[in-house]
Structure 1
């Protein structure tokens, strides 16, 4: 009987585990490896992150098609698949095309932006990064809401392979989304730039590159041991925190509804007294 390399590896792993004890299988490297040595990501699997080059990831996101969610998710997964992570080969098996549904706020519905959708999808499958995974998501979401995007400095534009002419002619200006919704993000940019939704191509490609860049920066900082939860940008705004004081998760003020949300409130809700 002959066996291939994958089968041989599986047998070696099995022998090693039997000899040394199941505790040696604590890493995620073979968490969902079948008898033939084929890995398939399963619910609850966590893969090891290693620091990436933020600009190289942003450039890949800019060059990748398939809409904003696919651009961000694919670029970071592809970079991790080519990295020295112990789970590099496992990252390579993830079908990033699944993220293609997230364009224009989930198949054109204008709801949650694909950039932040991809952020959650990615961080959810990463192994614990010094206890900072939730802070990474919070900081990335608040950054998307409150920052003038896309990034358009000369260095960033050159780094992703775009041009100053495209900044002037197609992006025109950056804008603040004030929300994690595609609808708000595009509407505010359209108002600021005078461009139509149908003309968003370069702007949205750069927005995905911008989010990929910042997300990698956050992940790298978390990996380096920085406590991102202490950053102001990782927390809801003062206005949102004020809303939470009445609309709590476990307790509320009087007849106020119980709400779980860290996103900006006043973008859609103007308050009770005006």
Structure 2
């Protein structure tokens, strides 16, 4: 059956009006559900955390593919979906494959490490954990930045299901001195003598290490510990000294205003050397 222009416009307008009505109804009556009544996480919604087994989460991250961001985000969300959280069924609906973009510092750009990108993406959707969510993110970033990683104890290697033979692929551990992927990989390459192309086992273990640490922080915060007082929850003394002039609300003289807690001297040599 053919349709003239006037009839076509009438049908399009009718469909658009119906769709608009459904949209309004969905917003007011269905809240965080789609038109079919299926749950869908909305912007600003927060889900309840429940304590997890840090080593089992690390093992799942190690066994998961798709790059570092997906490994960490998928592992923790999957564990929460099987946890005692009152929102376990909601965690189960989260499409963790969306985190696949974070590999090698955002689709290979060498910027923010996917482990930390995952930490932010996860904690941003968690309900307030005794006022510690921001401190947990800060501690995760500073831990990654300042610690010798990946974790390499015999207990950890066995716990994630790796082997001593695989340790030869890792070579040496290293300190990133930055939350950036390219700094982390470059420092590991310098320490181990291995190129970026051979980072596979090292980065799998790094994702497992960060999944372990993030869950450990979440568990401790959930138990009532004040994460904000931990040394790793704060910028280094050097970074805090820089912030005294390059502040967020006030600066010293003509100094630029800067908003960051990452190490400054990794990229900037300072004013006096």
Normalising by structure 1, what TM-score?
A: 0.88
Using the TM superposition, give the Cα deviation of residue 34 of structure 1 relative to its aligned residue in structure 2, in angstroms.
4.6
Q: Which residue of 1 aligns with 2:169?
A: 170
Using the TM superposition, give the Cα deviation of residue 165 of structure 1 relative to its aligned residue in structure 2, in angstroms.
1.1
Alignment partner of 1:101 is 2:101: yes
**Where does structure 1 lack aligned partners over 5 or more consecutive residues?**
1-29
Using the TM superposition, give the Cα deviation of residue 37 of structure 1 relative to its aligned residue in structure 2, in angstroms.
3.7
Point out the structure with max Rg over C-alpha: 2
Q: Which residue of 1 aligns with 2:249?
A: 250
Using the TM superposition, give the Cα deviation of residue 32 of structure 1 relative to its aligned residue in structure 2, in angstroms.
1.0
Partner secondary structure for residue 175 of structure 2:
coil
**Where does structure 2 lack aligned partners over 5 or more consecutive residues?**
1-29
Q: Please tell me whether the aligned partners of residues 31 and 45 of structure 1 are also in contact (alpha carbons under 8 angstroms).
A: no
Q: Which residue of 1 aligns with 2:148?
A: 148
Q: Which residue of 2 aligns with 1:134?
A: 134
Normalising by structure 2, what TM-score?
A: 0.88
Q: Supply the distance in 2 between the matched residues of 1:155 and 1:37 (Cα, whole angstroms).
A: 46
Q: Supply the distance in 1 between the matched residues of 2:220 and 2:133 (Cα, whole angstroms).
A: 11
Q: Supply the distance in 1 between the matched residues of 2:109 and 2:252 (Cα, whole angstroms).
A: 34
Alignment partner of 1:222 is 2:221: yes
Q: Please tell me whether the aligned partners of residues 174 and 189 of structure 1 are also in contact (alpha carbons under 8 angstroms).
A: yes
Q: Which residue of 2 aligns with 1:26?
A: none
Using the TM superposition, give the Cα deviation of residue 230 of structure 1 relative to its aligned residue in structure 2, in angstroms.
0.6
Q: Which residue of 2 aligns with 1:89?
A: 89
Q: Supply the distance in 2 between the matched residues of 1:51 and 1:31 (Cα, whole angstroms).
A: 28
Change in CA separation of 1:113 and 1:187 when aligned onto 2, cut-off 3 Å = same
Q: Supply the distance in 2 between the matched residues of 1:128 and 1:47 (Cα, whole angstroms).
A: 9
Q: Supply the distance in 1 between the matched residues of 2:222 and 2:34 (Cα, whole angstroms).
A: 30
Q: Supply the distance in 2 between the matched residues of 1:31 and 1:150 (Cα, whole angstroms).
A: 42
Q: Which residue of 1 aligns with 2:205?
A: 206
Give aligned pairs, total. 244
